[in-house]
Amino acid sequence: MSPVRRPNLRLVVAGTLAAVVLGVASTVALAAAGAFRGPAPTGTRCAAPALAGAVVDVTLADMGGGMMGGPMTGGGWRGMGMARVLVSRGVVPAGTVSLRVVNVGVRTHELVVLPLPAGQAAGARPVGADGRVDETGSLGEASRSCGAGAGDGITTGATGWVTLTLGPGRYELVCNLPGHYKAGMYAELDVR
């Protein structure tokens, strides 16, 4: 009978410590970039005008550089989950809703508003071979640097915005550039 192998305690402790240090470093980097603030961080290239209705501040963040890795074949990213869509409030009243979107990441991003089917969690959409989710039924997007509506993406440090009329329901806010959704760039917005 062969003896049961027990994990090396030093390796377990070192791995746990490395994970904690990486988590703290990620949080500090996002906080320093302004990812947890509502309005646009100081130093952005532009700001949104006064917006109508219930305003939701949205921050698009990624770790960029070596922490996130780089593009891989198939549109994926190494370090999945190292990018985020952060919302200042997750529930708004039905009617006019404005999304003020600030990109604090190092990559260009966008924000697409999709209805979220009953029983489906945010982040559960199938990702196609192109690294994107199906945008059928999109209600609008903020993907123009320093402007409203659709464009070529919101560049680093820039702000984009969109104003929509939303009925009661659940919506998913996604960055749908290749690989970004799979990397964690989605959030839920509930409209009541």
Token representation of residue 53: 């209705």
Of 101, 90, 113, 80, nearest to 183 by C-alpha is 80
Q: Is the pLDDT of residue 72 over 80?
A: no
**Beta strand 140-142 with 111-115: parallel, antiparallel or unpaired?**
antiparallel
Please name each of the domains of the chain with its CATH number: 9-191 (2.60.40.420)
Phi-psi category of 69—alpha, beta or left, where left has phi over 0 and alpha has psi -120 to 50? left
- Tell me: the pLDDT tens digits for 24-47? 444 444 444 444 444 444 445 788
Of 100, 104, 88, nearest to 187 by C-alpha is 88
Residue of higher predicted confidence among 1 and 137: 137
The alpha helices in the chain, defined as continuous H runs, are: 9-32, 65-68
pLDDT for 50 equals 94
Record the pTM: 0.72
Q: Is the pLDDT of residue 71 over 60?
A: no
pLDDT for 25 equals 45
